[in-house]
Chains A and B, each alone.
Chain A
């Protein structure tokens, strides 16, 4: 089955840029989606189709995907961005199977 690899943690100072990676074999050929989960809350979609933002998600959130790595970029990081972030793809080689990455804890210093 398809495996997505994320770093367990990323730290960034307020106002700086955070980059969270999601690695997978030829992930650039798939569409990647990203979710934010704050403590005690349900996940929220922040990026879909590699780089599209749902309504209500700040422009500070952006995404890219190429080769074996997809990246979620958060510009001008705020304290409220501290959360777990998960990448997700659809493994089209199996029957509607969804795959999540292991998650990355973003800490705002």
Chain B
């Protein structure tokens, strides 16, 4: 079974750093992209960026470029999303998802269970 398991909920203060994880199993981790998606409370889905663990090729949404860092460790089939200095506005649920890319399109299946990040003083 293809599965993505994310790290647990986090509560942080503004200015702190954070790294959350997404571990893939049941498929060749280095052969598929992993994307990250933000969902703020009561809001819709926002694409943040994507990484190809095979060669660490990484692309960011312009909205998130410079705000977060996406990385992967293929030796342990794990992708990461990290912040160097959190803000209250980073409070959200963050999902990872396996990206299926063909020559003409790109979709996500399956998704991780989500990691809730709360930033509050």
Chain A interface (Cβ < 8 Å from any Cβ of B): 1, 30-31, 33, 35, 37, 42-45, 48-49, 54, 84, 86, 88-90, 92, 95-103
By size class, the interface of chain B is: 20 to 34
Contact call A98/B47, Cβ cutoff below 8 A:
yes
Contact call B111/A90, Cβ cutoff below 8 A:
no
CB of B24 closer than 8 Å to a CB of A: no
CA distance A44 to B113 in the complex (A): 10
Q: How many A-B residue pairs have CB under 8 A?
A: 67
Chain B interface (Cβ < 8 Å from any Cβ of A): 35, 37, 44-47, 50, 59, 61-62, 95, 97, 100-101, 104-114
CA distance A89 to B104 in the complex (A): 10
Residue of A1, A43, A48, A54 touching B95 (CB-CB under 8 A):
A43
Known: A95-B59, A96-B50. A43 touches B106 (CB 8 A): no
